[in-house]
Amino acid sequence: GDERGPTLRLAAADLLAAVSTREDLKMARDWIRLEDIEEHYPQIAAAAMILGRHGSPAVDETALIAAMEHMHSGAYSAHLYHPPKRRLVDSLAGLLAHDNPAHVARLMKRYEQEVAKKGDRKESVIEALYWALCKSAGPEARALLEENQRLALPFYEYLKRVDPNHLRGFYERWRDGAGSGELRLDDRPTLFAAIADFGQREDAYRLYNLAASGWDRPLDVEEISYAAQAAAKLIARTGAYALVRDDVAGGLRESLKPNGGLYKRVITAIEVAGEAGSAEDLAALEAILRVNPADVAFVHEMSQHEAAHSWAKLIHRLGLFEQSMPLIQSMLADRNAIVNKAAFEALRLQVLK
């Protein structure tokens, strides 16, 4: 009956994958075949990530796809299973992403065949193939990826490799005053990412306000998240934190309870604090972690989870990991799952350094 279960177990799965080596492949190959998903989804997620890091397509692709199809069935449509599903897709994409021209050609053909199916479409496999092509294909795949655009940020990373000037154009049109109505809906995440990569210090406050206050049309929840992440990246890259320090402090103080702060203000402050914040933001982020999840408004569940990531990133960016170990150890034993998650994330980042 421990309510920490799902969050705590997936955080542990992420840490296990981070510390894994090729010696863990046998364990992962056993776990990926576990059939009781309700009981074993954290082990399956960990197994997928380990296979994605250390496995091979010839040996592991079939088992990964079988696990994906099982977990993507209607019986496991609850929100609880979305994070492990995401890890399965990411892992298969990583396993399949190789820039050998013959391999890319086979991936393109396979992707086209999967998309063309009228029945029995394997959407999770299609998504993984798309992501693998975004990671590894060259200009020859552009028309195919544009025609079937499915994943905004992977497609952005693809364009960043093959046509960065196209992306710079997105930023320049925004800089020169283009409004939201001049973009297709699918292009808005691309725009935010382009501003993060090509924008200048003087753009930082404008982008922060776009994320925290809205554009000339309302942003949906997913767009707010993209804009907040982009603002954080731009502010960190250009050293513009001083321009938004007071806004960040205000956003971190807003309540996560029902009828509390606006999601867009809170999530933007949390993202920026993690990427560019100062030691003064640590206490405010920790206070967000320690709110009882049962008291958090539905819209702010993501805010609290992102605060765990931002707290861990900030600990590392400020060089405070070693001196924070007593705190991290105590956080691992806390009864609040978000506090546990922040501690696991701090340890995972340390392993990956």
- The overall average pLDDT reported for the chain is 91
Tens of pLDDT, residues 14-73: 999 999 999 999 999 999 999 888 899 999 999 999 999 999 999 999 999 999 888 877
| Res 308 pLDDT > 70 | yes
pLDDT of 150 reads 66
pLDDT of 271 reads 98
| Res 101 pLDDT > 70 | yes
Lowest mean pLDDT among 146-160, 221-235, 283-297: 146-160
Higher pLDDT, 231 or 116: 231
Lowest mean pLDDT among 62-66, 118-122, 263-267, 335-339: 118-122
> For 120-138, what is the mean pLDDT?
90
- Cα angle 328, 334, 337 (rounded to 5 degrees) comes to 100
pLDDT of 179 reads 58
Q: Which two tokens stand for residue 236?
A: 């960190």
At a CB cut-off of 8 Å and minimum separation 6, what does 57 contact?
A: 95, 96
At a CB cut-off of 8 Å and minimum separation 6, what does 39 contact?
A: none
| Res 1 pLDDT > 60 | no
Higher pLDDT, 82 or 330: 330
> For 95-99, what is the mean pLDDT?
93
How far apart (Å, rounded) are the C-alpha atoms in residues 213 and 216?
10
Tens of pLDDT, residues 244-263: 999 999 999 999 999 888 99
> For 133-145, what is the mean pLDDT?
95
pLDDT of 151 reads 66
At a CB cut-off of 8 Å and minimum separation 6, what does 94 contact?
A: 52, 53, 132, 135
| Res 120 pLDDT > 80 | no
DSSP states of 137-156? --GGGHHHHHHT---HHHHH
Q: Which residue from 261, 259, 281, 262 is spatially nearest to 271, judged by alpha carbons?
A: 281
How far apart (Å, rounded) are the C-alpha atoms in residues 203 and 218?
20
- Cα angle 166, 169, 175 (rounded to 5 degrees) comes to 155
Q: Which two tokens stand for residue 184?
A: 């297709």
- 328 neighbors 347 (Cβ within 8 angstroms): yes
pLDDT of 2 reads 45
- 96 neighbors 57 (Cβ within 8 angstroms): yes
pLDDT of 76 reads 77
> For 116-144, what is the mean pLDDT?
89
Residue 187, CB half-sphere, CA atoms under 13 Å: how many?
A: 14
Tens of pLDDT, residues 177-218: 865 555 554 678 888 999 999 999 999 999 999 899 877 667
Q: Which residue from 96, 99, 102 is spatially nearest to 126, judged by alpha carbons?
A: 96
How far apart (Å, rounded) are the C-alpha atoms in residues 196 and 310?
18
pLDDT of 53 reads 95
Note every long-range contact of 276-280, with CB atoms under 8 Å and residues 24 or more positions apart, other chains counting.
276/232, 276/235, 276/236, 276/240, 276/241, 277/241, 277/248, 277/310, 277/314, 278/241, 278/245, 278/318, 279/318, 279/320, 280/249
pLDDT of 184 reads 57
Q: Which two tokens stand for residue 151?
A: 């994943």
pLDDT of 206 reads 93
The label of the residue with tokens 């396993």 reads 95
> For 300-304, what is the mean pLDDT?
94
- 268 neighbors 228 (Cβ within 8 angstroms): yes
